[in-house]
Amino acid sequence: MSRVFSGIQPTGNLHLGNYLGAIRNWVRMQDSHDCVFCVVDLHAITVAQDPKALRAGIREMTAALIASGLDPDRCVLFNQSAVRVHAELAWILMCTARMGWLGRMTQFKEKSGKDREGASVGLFTYPVLQAADILAYKATHVPVGEDQKQHLELARDIALKFNTDTGTELFPLPEPVIEGPATRVMSLRDGSAKMSKSDPSDAARINLTDSADAIAQKIKRAKTDPEPLPSDRAGLAGRPEAANLVGLMAALSGQSVEAVLAEWGGQGFGAFKPALADAMVAALAPITARFNALKDDHATLDAILARGAEKARAIAEPVLIEAQRAVGFRD
C-alpha cells in the first residue's frame, strides 16, 4: 500500500519555491496515489502569529492549493488543527524522539538564531509534530522541497525507533520525494539563500499573486553575474544565481537543464531574462486567476476543509488507536 502525505504552512503567500519544489509534485501525484495534503496551522504557531492573519492565511493557502491544481474530490485537503490526532500522536512520538536528534536540526538552529533561549518549545519539537503528521496516515511517500530532507530523515528514525521499542511494525518508513529541476529555488537577490516567505525583501521571491508586470520587474532586477550563460552544466559551477535562473527555466518550460543550456549557452541575461519572465507568467497567470476567483468564497473553502478533515480523521483515528495500544494505553 502506498500513501502520500505533505504539508505547507499557512503563513504568507504561496511562492514559486513552494510551487515548483513541492506543490506541482502534489498535483501530479493525485493521479497515481492516495493523497493527503495539510495546511499546517499547528506548525505556524511555533513562531508568533497574528490570530486574524493566521485565520485568513488558512483560507488563502487552501485557495492557493486548489488554484494550483489540487482537487478536493481526488485528495484529502484539510487544516491540521481540525484533526486532533496530530497533536496527540505528536505527544507519544515526543517520548520516542531523543533530545540529541532534535538538537541537530538545522532549521531550528536557523530559525531560533542567536536567541535560542527565547525560542518556543514548539519550535524545537516541531519536527516531531511533522513526523506525527506523516505517520498518522502511515504515509509511504512525502513530496517536499530539498529543505525538508533532514526533517524526513528524522521522521524515519522516529518511526523505526517506535516500531522497535514497541515490537510492532506499526509505521512504514516514509520516503522523501524530492523531484524536478527546482527542488531548491533560491532568492532572486542572493543565490546562496533559499527563496522564502519570511525574506524581508519581496523582490527576493515570486509570489503566486504577483502581476505579470511585477514578475517581469523582479526577473529584470534579479541578481546575476556579467558572464554569458554556459552551454553545459559544468559551466554553472560557482555561479549560483545563473544556476537558479536556469533551473527555473527548466522547471517552468518542462525541459532539462541541459536542454535549456543547449538553447541559451553563449547568450547574455539581457536576452534570457525576458524569456524566463514570459515562461513564469504563462505558468502562473492561470493559477493567479483561479486563486482570485476563489479566495473570498469563504463558505466554499470552509466546506472543503471540513469535508477534508472528516476524511482525514477517518484515516488517522484508527492509527492513533493502534499507537495507543502499542504503548499500553488500551487493550
CB of 228 to ligand TYM, least distance (A): 26
Asked if residue 230 binds ligand TYM (CB under 6 A), the reply is no
Span of 2-10, 29-37, 215-223, 316-324 interacting with ligand TYM by CB under 6 A: 2-10
Which x/- pattern, by CB under 6 A, does the window 66-85 give for ligand TYM?
Answer: --------------------
- Asked whether the beta carbons of 326 and 169 are under 8 A apart, the reply is no
Catalytic-labelled residue, pool 194, 218, 273, 295: 194
Alpha-carbon gap, residue 51 to 73, rounded angstroms: 29
Per CB under 6 A, contacts with ligand TYM among 177-206 are 183-185, 194-195
Cβ closest to ligand TYM, residue 174 vs residue 230: 174
Per CB under 6 A, contacts with ligand TYM among 37-56 are 40, 43
Q: Determine if residue 138 is left, alpha or beta; phi over 0 gives left, psi from -120 to 50 gives alpha, anything else beta.
A: left
Q: Pick one of 8, 83, 251, 316: the residue that binds ligand TYM (CB under 6 A).
A: 8
Query: What is the strand order of the sheet 175-177 is part of?
Result: 76-79, 34-39, 3-8, 141-143, 175-177
Q: With CB under 6 A as the rule, give the number of residues binding ligand TYM.
A: 24
Residue 142 φ/ψ, nearest 5 degrees: -130, 100
Cβ closest to ligand TYM, residue 70 vs residue 293: 70
Span of 18-26, 47-55, 223-231, 291-299 interacting with ligand TYM by CB under 6 A: 18-26
Asked if residue 313 binds ligand TYM (CB under 6 A), the reply is no
CB of 163 to ligand TYM, least distance (A): 19
Cα Rg of the chain (Å, integer): 21
CB of 127 to ligand TYM, least distance (A): 8
Q: Pick one of 9, 13, 68, 224: the residue that binds ligand TYM (CB under 6 A).
A: 9
Which x/- pattern, by CB under 6 A, does the window 118-157 give for ligand TYM?
Answer: ------------x--xx-------x-xx-xx---------
194 in active site: yes
Burial of 10: CB neighbours in 10 Å, binned 0-12, 13-18, 19+: buried
Catalytic-labelled residue, pool 111, 149, 161, 311: 111
DSSP secondary structure of 89-115: HHHHHHTTS-HHHHHT-HHHHHHHTT-
DSSP β-bridge partners for residue 77:
37
109 in active site: no
Nearest one of 140, 130, 68 to 102, comparing CA atoms:
130
111 in active site: yes
Which DSSP letter does residue 252 get? H
Catalytic-labelled residue, pool 149, 161, 197, 311: 197
DSSP secondary structure of 286-324: HHHHHHHHHTT-HHHHHHHHHHHHHHHHHHHHHHHHHHH
Output the CA torsion 254→256→259→261 (10° steps). 110
Cβ closest to ligand TYM, residue 2 vs residue 267: 2
SS (H, E, C) 145-181: CHHHHHHHHHHHHHHHHHHHHHCCCCCCCCEEECCCC
Asked if residue 21 binds ligand TYM (CB under 6 A), the reply is yes
| Binding residues vs ligand TYM (CB under 6 A) | 5-9, 17-18, 21-22, 40, 43, 130, 133-134, 142, 144-145, 147-148, 183-185, 194-195
Q: Enumerate the active-site residues.
A: 111, 194, 197
